[in-house]
Each structure stands twice: as C-alpha cells, then as structure tokens.
C-alpha cells in the first residue's frame, strides 16, 4: 500500500494522508435524540436491514450508539445469527441492552466497548463477518485508515460494508477521501447513494 510518506506530498496513484479531521464524539447523555419515532420514519432501519442482512449472518454495527440500527439487524439475523454492537461509550451499550432486553433480542447480540484508536475485537473473529455498518460515526474516529483496515479484516471475502456520513458534518471532499482510503485498505466501492439526505456508500471486501 503505497501512501505518500509525508503529509501533503503525493505521487500519481497515491492518496494524500493529511492529518485526519476528528470531530466531537456524540455524548451518551444525548442518546435519546438518536432513537425517536421521527428518525425511524426517516431512516427506516428495518428496510436497511432487509436489504443488507440475511438470516444467520454475523453483523458488525460499529458506533452503534443506543441501538437505533442494532435492533433491526438483530431481528433480521434471526436465532442463528449474531450482531456485534460496538461503541466507545459503555453508557451507550448499557442503554442498548436495556432497550433490547424486553424485545427478547439480547441472545442475538454481543456488545463490545472499543477504544478510541481500535475496534479491538479478538483476532479469531477476523474473516467471520458477513456485513459491517458504520453509520454517522467515522468522522468521530481519530484514525479512519486503521478503522477501515480492521473492518476489512473482520469481513469475509465479498462481505458488505455500508458507510454513511451526515453532509452538515462531513463535506463531500472528506467523504470521497475516506472512500479512497477504504479502497486502499481492501474495499471496492460498489455504489454511492443518498441515505435520506446523507452521503452513503456500499463497499465490498475484495
């Protein structure tokens, strides 16, 4: 992987690695804003799950927050599947477990608190995930290159990576740069689209 050695120095076919833009982490104290009827109506997490998740799949929900998308992923994988909701904040994971418990979905999930600079799942899980989601969260990560590399390692060959960012926080130039970095880490961009008004891309592990 031939990256430019110095920030700002580039050669043909390389991606310029300027210091990453690191945005503020969304606090768990505001978790209630992330799981509302209005957001469910706008984003239709059930339809997203139906499109990219199959019964029996193993799913990574990186930056899961209070479980807005996790709930539908867990429903879709069924009894034979498993969802790994991953978040930096233990409070987010606690809220998620409290919400999904009464819905009898806890047996399908394995929550994991990550560190700021790594997902940190066990290496024996590499190559076992069918799909991964990073929705409205990569902009909070200090090292997106490492994140994309770890997600690629976790996915099976041909596995799907759904990546989306809000345009008011992540401009088009930053989003396109991240897609180029993801391709350097072993992904192929299959499709770019709008996820409501947000930029989104579907990538495949090569």
Return averaged pLDDT per consecutive 10 residues of the chain, 206 residues in all.
Answer: 33 44 53 70 94 98 95 97 96 94 95 94 97 96 96 98 96 96 98 95 98
pLDDT at 37: 81
- Asked if residue 174 is part of any domain, the answer here is no
The tokens for 204 are: 């495949």
pLDDT at 4: 31
The answer to whether 69 and 45 are in contact (CB under 8 A) is yes
For 57, which DSSP code? -
Q: Could you give the number of structural domains in the chain?
A: 1
The tokens for 67 are: 């479980």
Beta strands in the chain (DSSP E): 58-62, 82-87, 112-113, 129-135, 155-165, 187-195, 198-205
- Asked if residue 180 is part of any domain, the answer here is no
- Asked if residue 134 is part of any domain, the answer here is yes
What range defines the domain where residue 128 resides? 34-160
pLDDT at 31: 53
- Asked if residue 184 is part of any domain, the answer here is no
- Asked if residue 63 is part of any domain, the answer here is yes
Cα gap 73→81, rounded to integer Å: 10
- Asked if residue 51 is part of any domain, the answer here is yes
One DSSP character per residue, 75-100 reads HHH-TT-EEEEEES-HHHHHHHHHHH
- Asked if residue 24 is part of any domain, the answer here is no
CATH number, domain at 77? 3.40.50.150
Specify the residue for token string 């193993």.
58
- Asked if residue 55 is part of any domain, the answer here is yes
């Amino acid at each position: 992987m031939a990256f430019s050695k110095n920030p700002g120095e580039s050669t043909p076919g390389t991606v310029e690695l300027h210091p990453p833009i690191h945005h503020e982490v969304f606090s768990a104290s505001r978790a209630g804003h992330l799981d509302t009827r209005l957001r469910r109506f706008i984003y239709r997490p059930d339809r997203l799950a139906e499109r990219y998740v199959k019964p029996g799949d193993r799913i990574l929900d990186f930056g899961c927050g209070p479980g807005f998308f996790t709930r539908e992923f867990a429903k879709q994988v069924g009894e034979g599947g498993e969802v790994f909701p991953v978040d930096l904040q233990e409070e987010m994971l606690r809220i998620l477990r409290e919400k999904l418990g009464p819905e009898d979905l806890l047996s399908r999930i394995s929550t994991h608190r990550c560190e700021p600079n790594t997902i940190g799942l066990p290496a024996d899980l590499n190559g076992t995930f069918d799909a991964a989601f990073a929705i409205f969260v990569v902009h909070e990560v200090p090292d997106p290159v490492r994140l994309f590399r770890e997600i690629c390692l976790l996915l099976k060959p041909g596995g799907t990576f759904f990546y989306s960012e809000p345009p008011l926080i992540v401009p088009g130039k930053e989003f396109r740069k991240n897609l180029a970095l993801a391709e350097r880490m072993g992904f192929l961009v299959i499709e770019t689209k709008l996820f409501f008004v947000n930029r989104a891309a579907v990538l495949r592990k090569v």
